């Protein structure tokens, strides 16, 4: 046998051994991950007209029905109904448009339990248009690039899909009630006036493409970051509207918007041992709790926070 033939046979043997090692060295999970579907779910959300969220039995809560008409989405639980909060709704619908698994975690009972997908722990999403689709939602991982564990009806596998969905499914009916504070498009805001306890106040005012704070040039980057965060911030929870009857106004924020006839006004009231918030963007009955430690720095900042240095 010539050296050339011997080298060729040796090379072929190496390739075969490498292939055997590669196949044999893979775990069942890795082998399964090579063959899981590229797309788990694809929903035409423009055509979707209804869906249902069934809370996990461990939550002891009733299901929430969602229906869309010409005015938008409505959330209903029993005899209660509300326009659905658009922020979580849009994020949920966006996740359904093109749901592509990152990995399959397994299908055994221990994996299902570990990812919060057992019958007692999982929330269930039921879509009906054009055909019925049932999706169980489990836990969401932490970090900057989260993934949520799901099981699609008819498929025993636990899939990990991009994004955080669990918090949306965990919302109760009150969580689906929009709780606006000072929301809108900051590009249309011309003046923001702050009033603090003791009637001390100041204004941020647009001057062409720049901002002025108390008559002095402001740091545009700081102002625009603040306004962007302010514009998407919503309240959490509901309080009794009667709490405002004898409450005392201590903070107020007034936003003049070129697209609105009337300014947006947010008032923070001392209701005797607690603070509550009311906004002109919300109906009169909607009163929200206000947490000084978590929310005050989001809404009310001193003028020096916007000054150029």
CB 136 within 8 A of CB 116: no
Averaged pLDDT, 223-248? 92
Q: Which helix (H) or strand (E) holds 140?
A: strand 133-140
pLDDT at 245: 85
% the chain with pLDDT above 70 = 88
With 80 as the cut, is the pLDDT of residue 293 above it? Answer: yes
pTM for the model stands at: 0.79
DSSP letter for 52, please: E
Per-residue pLDDT of 160-189, as tens digits, reads 999 999 999 999 999 999 999 999 999 999
Q: Which residue has the tokens 């625009």?
A: 224
The confidence score (pLDDT) of residue 24 equals: 43
Strand partners, 50: 67
Query: What pLDDT does residue 84 have?
Result: 96
Confidence tier at 2 by pLDDT (50, 70, 90): low
Is the per-residue pLDDT at 213 higher than 50? yes
Got the DSSP string for 271-285?
A: -SSSEEEEETTS-TT
CA 119 from centre of chain? 24
Q: What is the pLDDT of residue 255?
A: 97
Please check whether residue 137 is in contact with residue 56, taking contact to mean a CB–CB distance below 8 angstroms: no
φ, ψ (nearest 5 deg) of residue 222: -65, -45
Per DSSP, what are the bridge partners of residue 135? 125, 152
* pLDDT confidence tier of residue 27, bands split at 50, 70 and 90: very low
Residue 51: both structure tokens together? 């869906």
- List, in sequence order, every residue forming a beta bridge with 74; answer none if it has no partner: 67, 83
Task: Give the whole-angstrom CA distance, residue 168 versus residue 166.
Answer: 5
Where is pLDDT greater, at 186 or 16? 186
10 pLDDT tier (thresholds 50, 70, 90): low
Task: Evaluate if residue 230 carries a pLDDT over 50.
Answer: yes
Per-residue tokens: 178: 């929009």
Of 3 and 262, the one with more pLDDT: 262
């Amino acid at each position: 046998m010539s050296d050339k033939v011997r080298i060729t046979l040796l090379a072929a043997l190496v390739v075969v051994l490498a292939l055997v090692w590669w196949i044999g060295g893979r775990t069942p999970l890795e082998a399964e991950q090579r063959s899981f579907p590229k797309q788990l779910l694809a929903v035409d959300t423009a055509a979707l007209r209804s869906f249902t969220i069934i809370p996990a039995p461990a939550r002891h809560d009733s299901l929430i029905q969602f229906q869309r008409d010409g005015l938008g989405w409505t959330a209903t639980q029993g005899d209660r109904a509300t326009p659905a909060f658009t922020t979580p709704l849009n994020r949920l619908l966006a996740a359904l448009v093109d749901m592509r698994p990152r990995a399959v975690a397994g299908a055994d009972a221990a994996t299902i339990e570990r990812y919060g997908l057992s019958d007692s722990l999982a929330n269930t999403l039921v879509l009906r248009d054009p055909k019925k689709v049932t999706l169980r939602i489990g836990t969401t991982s932490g970090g900057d690039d989260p993934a949520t564990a799901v099981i699609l009806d008819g498929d025993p596998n636990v899939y990990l899909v991009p994004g955080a969905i669990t918090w949306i499914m965990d919302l109760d009916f009150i969580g689906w009630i929009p709780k606006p504070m000072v929301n809108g498009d900051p590009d249309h805001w011309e003046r923001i006036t702050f009033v603090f306890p003791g009637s001390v106040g100041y204004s941020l005012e647009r001057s062409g493409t720049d901002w002025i704070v108390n008559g002095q040039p402001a740091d545009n980057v700081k102002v625009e970051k603040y306004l962007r965060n302010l514009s998407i911030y919503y309240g959490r929870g509901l309080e009794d509207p009667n709490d405002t009857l004898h409450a005392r106004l201590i903070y107020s924020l007034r936003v003049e918007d070129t697209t609105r006839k009337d300014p947006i006004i947010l008032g923070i009231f001392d209701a005797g041992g607690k603070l509550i918030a009311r906004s002109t963007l919300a109906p009169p009955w909607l009163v929200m709790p206000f947490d000084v430690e978590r929310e005050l720095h989001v809404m009310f900042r001193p003028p020096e926070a916007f000054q150029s240095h």
